[in-house]
């Protein structure tokens, strides 16, 4: 967030700017996520800023303000987001370097110990008939090695401490990485984690030749539900669907919040037929639950999801796989919602 905007948000105009940003998002059908809110604050407060101009261009062109577009804008224009990405990249590189250092420390320690043992063994193996000069030389080398080992004991202790610190630092970096790759509302993988997981799954499928299926899911009529019951109850519904989806996830599968009320499930080693069965179980479990508003215990009724799936074709890039799964999702919506559609065969299963 720019310094000028930070000052505005700590002054008397803060509440007015916040309301103005929320109104602008609502008027343009933009989901009020924290990231979107920060971007639209720039738009309403500083329209001549790079973020303000970028959003204005999108509105003039009639482009939808999707989660992907928001992430792109943030990565380009919000220093905090850029810094988080740079820190994550730097952390990954540092972790690899620390692995190398740890292995080098351990190897040096083992080599030093082995060398000392060899010299001690050689000294002991010389009998009384060995030339005095050779015995003296071996004994001198063994004694020198022992002195070096004693002198290096402090250094070795420090290296051991460093190795332990390296381990703690690596664990911390991994924790930071997990946080950066997790959706805060649902604890599922976020969009960045989804993109990376799908890339790995595609590469692995190319090597193994095993099937790979991608599914995308969307909560039906969510905007109407959200408008009727409010965003907090809407978040409750999103977490409920995420919980059902999480039970189908777990390594090597990846369940992710793709954006807003849309989710994704990556299914390595699963073909379209098996995936259809898994997704139908998810769809039926979601629809079978009668929900209550947590704050008042009012009956909310049931929610349903529409699902699209696509089994990856040989050599197909991940962008094409996503497009086909998305097309299958919209086919489910056009056919009446609350159903699962296979992109390849355009076969739907419905309640």
Give the integer Cα–Cα distance in Å for 306 and 300. 19
Distance of alpha carbon 323 from the chain centroid:
21
DSSP code at position 312: P
Give the integer Cα–Cα distance in Å for 168 and 172. 6
**Among 261, 285, 316, 344, which one carries the catalytic annotation?**
261
Helix and strand element counts for the chain (H, E): 13, 8
Q: What count of Cα atoms within 13 Å lies in the side-chain half-sphere of residue 225?
A: 22
The DSSP H or E segment spanning 60 is helix 50-61
Give the integer Cα–Cα distance in Å for 110 and 249. 42
Known active-site residue 261: yes
Three-class SS of residue 214?
A: strand
Residues composing the chain? 351
State the catalytic residues. Answer: 261
């Amino acid at each position: 967030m720019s310094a000028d905007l930070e000052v505005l948000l700590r002054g008397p105009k803060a509440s007015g700017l916040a309301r103005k940003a929320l109104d602008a998002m609502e008027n343009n059908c933009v989901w009020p996520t924290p990231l979107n809110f920060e971007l639209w604050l720039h738009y309403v407060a500083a329209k001549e800023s790079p973020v303000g101009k970028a959003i204005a261009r999108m509105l003039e062109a009639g482009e939808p303000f999707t989660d992907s577009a928001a992430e792109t804008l943030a990565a380009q224009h919000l220093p905090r987001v850029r810094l988080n990405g740079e820190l994550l990249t730097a952390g990954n590189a540092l972790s690899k370097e620390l692995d190398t250092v740890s292995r080098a420390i351990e190897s040096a320690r083992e080599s030093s110990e082995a060398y000392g043992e060899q010299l001690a063994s050689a000294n002991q193996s010389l009998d009384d008939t060995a030339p005095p000069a050779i015995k003296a030389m071996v004994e001198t080398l063994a004694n020198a090695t022992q002195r070096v080992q004693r002198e290096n004991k402090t250094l070795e202790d420090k290296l051991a401490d460093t190795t332990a610190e390296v381990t703690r630092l690596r664990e911390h970096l991994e924790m930071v990485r997990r946080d950066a790759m997790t959706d805060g509302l649902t604890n599922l993988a976020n969009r960045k984690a989804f993109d990376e997981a799908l890339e790995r799954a595609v590469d692995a499928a190319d090597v193994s030749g095993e099937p790979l299926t991608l599914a995308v899911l969307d909560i039906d009529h969510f905007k109407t539900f959200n408008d009727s019951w409010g965003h907090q109850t809407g978040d409750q519904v999103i977490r409920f669907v995420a919980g059902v989806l999480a039970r189908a996830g777990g390594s090597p599968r990846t369940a992710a919040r793709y954006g807003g009320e849309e989710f994704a499930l990556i299914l390595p080693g699963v073909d379209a037929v098996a995936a259809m069965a898994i997704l139908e179980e998810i769809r039926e479990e979601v629809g079978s639950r009668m929900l209550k508003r947590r704050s008042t215990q009012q009956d909310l009724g049931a929610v349903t999801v529409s699902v699209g799936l696509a089994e990856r074709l040989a050599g197909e890039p991940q962008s094409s796989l996503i497009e086909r799964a998305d097309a299958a999702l919209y086919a489910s919506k056009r056919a009446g919602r609350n159903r699962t559609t296979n992109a390849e065969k355009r076969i739907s299963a419905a309640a």
